[in-house]
Amino acid sequence: MQKNPNKKRKVLSYIIITISSLIMLTPFITAALNSLKSYVQYTAIPVEWIPDPVQWENYVEVWKMTDFAQYGWNSLVVTVLSVVGALFSCSLVGYAFARLEFRFKNSLFIMVLGTLMIPPVVMIIPQFIIFKNMGLLDTLVPLWILEWLAQPFGIFLMRQAFLAIPKEYEEAAKLDGCSPLQTYWRIFLPMCKPQLATLTIFTFMAKWNEIMAPVIYLSSQEKFTLPIGVLSMSGAWFGQEQYLVAAALMTLIPILIVFLFTEKFFVKGASSSGLK
Amino acid sequence: MVLILALLLSACSAETDSEEDGDSSATEITLGFYSSGSADEKMKDLIAQFEKEHPDIKVKTQNAPYQQFFQKLDTQIAGGNEPDVWLSDGVFVLKYAERGAARDLTKWIEKDLNKDDYYGLDFNKGPDGKYWGVPQGIQIGALFYNKDMFDAAGVDYPDDTWTWEDLKEAGAKLTIDTSGKKAGESGFDANTVKQYGLTFFNITEGWMPVLKSYGGGVLGEDLRKSIIDSPENKEAVNYIVDGMERGIFTDPADLQAFQSPMSPFPSQTAAMRIGIYARALAANETGVNYDVTVLPKGPDGKRFSPVIANSWVISNNTSDKKAKAAWEWIKYWVSEDNVQKQWAELGEAVPVKKSVANSDLFLNSGDKPQNKQAFLDSFEFAGTLDVNAVWSEWVKQMGDNLNRAFLNEASVDEALETADKEVQKVQDEFYKK
């Protein structure tokens, strides 16, 4: 008797989930369909949803039109260096704020949080001048180096993660003769995999999709990252938007891969906060 | 980490130093341009040809997508690191000039270029008579019309006798709703139009040519005073609003329903459009059977064709030596027939040099439109978009207010009155200093 209403509820929730995910997928599906159209079909009014004939060659064309592989490689260099930098620096700083005692700790932490409120646009020109004086314009360095200097969001995320770990672990480690750095590396870091995965995904997505900084720091075409490379294809006068959509979809693939690999931890990270 | 950084830094700075001091005989200039897709290759090709003919000048290029290019340029100018010469959208030339970023080219132009040989030199002149840029290619407006739709409706093709009223009358016969009724027929539903008479898109390819040919406009001759709230403008805007209400012209809400506001003409949803030269690219891509003619006359016989002269600008910040080398590039670009021809073949813009624009290469290139002469004829009554240093800012104010009138959210009188105040405020804020 009791099973039935439960089952009904389950069916109902599945229906809701299916419908809402379909709604959320619509733009994505539209984009995928658009990428397979000819320009005539792309602009057709009323909208022709299903490409006919399916233009798979749009994707080949994109590879021919731009240096897609080169841009992809540049994006990968920037993104991987950024992710490694963010994981390393944010966890280290976050650990210090969570577990070590030093003077002005709280005021310093408030300052770090305060920088979150500065709109990035304000910092562009000063940063540009600094990098110019360092001779780093038109190199990939300005695009990833900042992540090695611990960004506030990551610090906050990691600090919260470390704070949640019971003090006993630390004391036990101390008794076994661990220095604070060893405790951080051997005990604490492995316990924070979900948050590290979260930080990985956020940094990866932000850097992979970033357009403003690459545009400002890069000048030579062979150093472009994917977002500028893709936009460069469109040109000033339009007429070939279907290639643009195809290229944009191709740049999504790495994000999907990273998400699939870190998803296990990511979901755990989101749910664990409720358990503690 | 610090060590690596330090090493990196010293390596990089050493490299730039040697580049600047190393070879004193060759001048290296940086040339910035916004990408226009496949045309990038041609640009690089032309630069290579230039370097070959000028062995003492080396050109480093810098490019970015259109919108990002100008964001970057503003940052670079603020950081004192802009290219020595760059390609500017025609509507931004005066912005750089009046903010001191562009070099005054008047003397060089007078010495090296015979002004009568070129289209559009004067479109970059400031109100003080100084020249701030030399056109790289010219966009000029004409009336595009879909021959098949005119044939189907049994309407004569537009010609140079048309007024805007004629256009609306013909447009009504070319406007069809989903039940097959034409505008003006009883039972026609202006909310379910599937074929429009004219598609209408913001300033250049929308209200500006209408306003101007009705005797109105946005800024007075000194380009500092708003003249928006005038009877001429009222008449012109009433004309547009009426066309939109009757479903003959696309209104801003209609345009949002399309994948791109530019698509109604190439996708054959609109029989006519006001279009600059480059719009031929998309129309040719979809294979529309179309041609062009000059834009219609206003009620007093006045005509107006909008012009944007995308131009080469030299940085005010660069050394005289580099500026001279940059001038060599500009001279090479506009005066060499060979260069002009190669660029014209891309079909992106009307060539700057009159001899090339009037040659078979341009006029009879085989691509549509057939009547390319209409673009050249339009120079006789061509004008800029009242461009000044705060162009982007006032266009936004003006556009927002006009859109309210177009969407029936405000009366024409009220929209023009508000626009007048807001546009004047933008001018005062900048020019009061």
Q: Which ipTM did the prediction report?
A: 0.75
Cβ separation A128–B34 shorter than 8 A: no
The reported pLDDT for the residue numbered A69 is 87
The reported pLDDT for the residue numbered B259 is 73
Tokens, residue B405? 């009138």
| Reported pTM | 0.83
The type of residue at B238 is: N
Question: Does B309 have pLDDT greater than 90?
Answer: yes
- Whether omega before A51 lies within 30 degrees of 0, making that bond cis, reads no
Question: Does B10 have pLDDT greater than 90?
Answer: no
Q: Which residues of B touch A127 (CB under 8 A)?
A: none
DSSP-derived secondary structure letter, A76: H
Cβ separation A237–B36 shorter than 8 A: yes
Could you tell me the pLDDT band of residue A264, with boundaries at 50, 70 and 90?
confident
The reported pLDDT for the residue numbered B47 is 95
How close A75 comes to chain B (CA, Å)? 16
Could you tell me the pLDDT band of residue B22, with boundaries at 50, 70 and 90?
very low
The reported pLDDT for the residue numbered A266 is 64
Nearest-CB residue to B37 (from A132, A136, A233) = A233
Cβ separation B81–A128 shorter than 8 A: yes
The reported pLDDT for the residue numbered A236 is 59
Q: What is the CA radius of gyration of chain B?
A: 24
The reported pLDDT for the residue numbered A27 is 87
Question: Does A259 have pLDDT greater than 90?
Answer: no
Question: Does B20 have pLDDT greater than 50?
Answer: no
Average pLDDT, chain B: 90
Could you tell me the pLDDT band of residue B196, with boundaries at 50, 70 and 90?
very high
**Burial of A1 from C-beta contacts in 10 A (0-12 / 13-18 / 19+):** exposed
Summarize the confidence of residues B53-57 as an average pLDDT: 95
Q: Which residues of A touch B266 (CB under 8 A)?
A: 39, 43, 239
Question: Does B417 have pLDDT greater than 80?
Answer: yes
Residue of A nearest to B65 (CA): A232
Could you tell me the pLDDT band of residue B5, with boundaries at 50, 70 and 90?
very low
Question: Does B16 have pLDDT greater than 80?
Answer: no
Summarize the confidence of residues B335-356 as an average pLDDT: 92
Answer yes or no: are the C-beta atoms of B228 and B416 closer than 8 Å: yes
Judged by a CB distance cut-off of 8 A, whether residue B78 touches chain A is yes
Q: What are phi and psi of B194, to 5 degrees?
A: -110, -15
Nearest-CB residue to A135 (from B16, B63, B281) = B16
Distance CA B98, CA B113 (A): 24
Place of tokens 């545009």: A215
How close B308 comes to chain A (CA, Å)? 13
B313 pairs with which residues across the strands?
Answer: B86
Judged by a CB distance cut-off of 8 A, whether residue A70 touches chain B is no
Give B223-272 pLDDT, tens digit per residue: 999 999 999 999 999 999 999 999 999 999 988 887 778 889 988 999 99
Question: Does A261 have pLDDT greater than 80?
Answer: yes
Distance CA B338, CA B356 (A): 9
Question: Does B145 have pLDDT greater than 70?
Answer: yes
Summarize the confidence of residues A190-194 as an average pLDDT: 88
The reported pLDDT for the residue numbered B19 is 41
The reported pLDDT for the residue numbered A158 is 94
Q: What are phi and psi of B355, to 5 degrees?
A: -60, -35
Question: Does B17 have pLDDT greater than 60?
Answer: no
Distance CA B78, CA A121 (A): 13
Give B102-133 pLDDT, tens digit per residue: 999 999 999 999 999 999 899 988 888 899 99
Question: Does B140 have pLDDT greater than 80?
Answer: yes
The type of residue at B147 is: K
Give B367-408 pLDDT, tens digit per residue: 899 999 999 999 999 999 999 999 999 999 999 999 999 999
Summarize the confidence of residues B21-35 as an average pLDDT: 79
B118 pairs with which residues across the strands?
Answer: B353
Give A144-190 pLDDT, tens digit per residue: 999 999 899 999 999 999 998 888 888 888 888 888 889 899 888 88
Q: Which residues of B touch A232 (CB under 8 A)?
A: 35, 37, 40, 63-65
Tokens, residue A151? 């960004």
Nearest-CB residue to A231 (from B62, B68, B282) = B68
Residue of A nearest to B36 (CA): A235
Judged by a CB distance cut-off of 8 A, whether residue B378 touches chain A is no
Closest CA to B208 of B412, B387, B376, B374: B387
Rounded to 5°, angle at Cα A257 from A252 and A262 = 125
Question: Does A243 have pLDDT greater than 90?
Answer: no
**CA of A42: how far to CAs of A33, A66, B132, B268, B291, in Å?**
9, 21, 40, 12, 23
Percent of chain A residues past pLDDT 70, beyond the cut: 92
Place of tokens 């209409």: B374
Q: What are phi and psi of B154, to 5 degrees?
A: 65, 35
Q: What are phi and psi of B137, to 5 degrees?
A: -170, 155
Give A79-125 pLDDT, tens digit per residue: 999 999 999 999 999 999 998 889 999 999 999 999 888 888 888 88
Summarize the confidence of residues B329-350 as an average pLDDT: 92
Binding-face residues of B in 129-168 toward A, CB within 8 A: none
- Whether omega before B351 lies within 30 degrees of 0, making that bond cis, reads no
Cβ separation A238–B260 shorter than 8 A: yes
Distance CA B334, CA B114 (A): 11
Binding-face residues of B in 274-313 toward A, CB within 8 A: 278-279, 281-282, 285-287
Helix locations, B267-385, DSSP H: 279-286, 320-335, 337-344, 354-357, 360-363, 373-377
The reported pLDDT for the residue numbered B3 is 44
Choose between B432 and A185: higher pLDDT.
Answer: A185
CB within 8 Å of B125: residues ≥ 6 apart: B131, B132
Judged by a CB distance cut-off of 8 A, whether residue B266 touches chain A is yes
Question: Does A55 have pLDDT greater than 90?
Answer: no
Residue of A nearest to B283 (CA): A239
Closest CA to B254 of A36, A65, A45, A26: A45
Summarize the confidence of residues A43-50 as an average pLDDT: 76
Closest CA to B119 of B277, B317, B275: B277
Cβ separation B78–A139 shorter than 8 A: no
Average pLDDT, chain A: 86
**CA of A90: how far to CAs of A84, A95, A145, A153, in Å?**
10, 8, 13, 9
The reported pLDDT for the residue numbered A170 is 86
Judged by a CB distance cut-off of 8 A, whether residue A125 touches chain B is yes
Strands, E assignment, B91-234: 134-146, 176-177, 193-199
Summarize the confidence of residues A228-236 as an average pLDDT: 76
